[in-house]
Chains A and B, each alone.
Chain A
Amino acid sequence: MSDIILTIDGKEVSAGEGSTILEAARSVGIKIPTLCNHEKLEPYGGCRICTVEAEGRGGTQLVAACLYPVEKNLVVRTRSVKVDRIRKMILELLLAHAPDSMEMQDLMKEYGADRNRFEKEASFCIHCGLCVRYCAEVKKANAVGFIDRGTRREISFIPEIASSECWNCKECFPLCPTSALQAAYVLTEALNSLTHPFRHGPEE
């Protein structure tokens, strides 16, 4: 694989062909915040908190660093007035759903986001898709998925699958940035305690 030379925050970085801006930046210790990214999972580009300015091919674009492949002579700015403003806005919108999310508290301070800017609509899920993708891509269990669309989109467990698969796994629990997943799990368990009793305890 030939290496591509690009510039990130004024630093010359060489990265393998096909790698993303995020990977290139991390290789030289430049931090780009992410919420929906996970090393074991395919890039998703769901949260857009990794938005950066990418200058190349005759123009400046705002791109998601976790998805955008590196290009020759690309000039990337990971912090600029514009990028910071966008990240602040994204955070404020996400905080309206999950105001006390631990993962977002540090970002909130860094970008000066006001969690009271938008009216609270505490659904807790920020649709990062970590649980859904981890269950599908890594565990191949497909116990949890998205339902509905747009503003009504939410995560939902399939009781039949969750009742047999989840007790011994629960690997998605620590991934959730807001604990909405745990709530959805407990809710599914409670609603199906008679029809699909969840297994509690070690594998027989």
Chain B
Amino acid sequence: MDNDRINQIIEKHQCEASSLIQVMLEIQSIYHWLPKEALELVSDKLKVPLTRIQHIATFYKAFSLVPKGRHGIHICMGTACHVRGAGRILDSVQDLTGIKPGETDLDMKFSLETVNCLGCCALGPVMEINGKTHGKMAPAKTADVLKNYD
């Protein structure tokens, strides 16, 4: 972990306690998770108790207290995707990656999450990887999509 980089983020927000979530979001976007050392530094500089930071970090799904893989897979489980077979997409991705929703594989390659709607129901079933949307998925097509990421 790079202390200077975290200090830069904190200074950008003038050590304001009210910028706590912004600071946490920036750390999250750099490391894809919130390392404990980083949070201790934030707590120290922003004068916010660690209990409060821990509460916020566990409250919002955008934050993670465990390391995440290089590629984040989000599979939509919303109503439209569900009726179009999102469950089978999830099954096939689970088989291919060997991980369940909420988990990260040992190579730190993929992290799998389910989400409740990605807002493009006409494309269902939808799978999103690193923010890129893969619409009209089929269990047989998932392997082709996943092999583009390493």
State the A residues within 8 Å of B (CB).
132, 135-136, 142-149, 156, 158, 160-161
Contact = CB atoms under 8 A, between A and B. Distances in A.
A136 B51 contact: yes
Main secondary structure, interface of B, reads helix
Contacts of A135: 51
A136 B54 contact: no
Main secondary structure, interface of A, reads mixed
Given A156-B54, A158-B54, A148 B49 contact: no
Contacts of A143: 51
A63 B5 CA distance: 48
Contacts, number: 31
Given A136-B49, A148-B58, A149-B58, 10 more contacts: A132-B51, A142-B51, A144-B51, A145-B50, A145-B54, A146-B51, A146-B55, A156-B54, A158-B50, A158-B54
A113 B132 CA distance: 53
B59 A142 contact: no
Contact of B55 (A147, A160, A161): A147
A183 to B, nearest CB: 18
Contacts of B49: 136, 142, 145
Interface in B49-81: 49-52, 54-55, 58-59
Interface string B119-133: 000000000000000
27 contacts: A132-B51, A135-B51, A136-B51, A142-B50, A142-B51, A142-B52, A144-B51, A145-B49, A145-B50, A145-B51, A145-B52, A145-B54, A145-B55, A146-B51, A146-B55, A147-B54, A147-B55, A147-B58, A148-B58, A148-B59, A149-B58, A149-B59, A156-B54, A158-B50, A158-B51, A158-B54, A161-B50
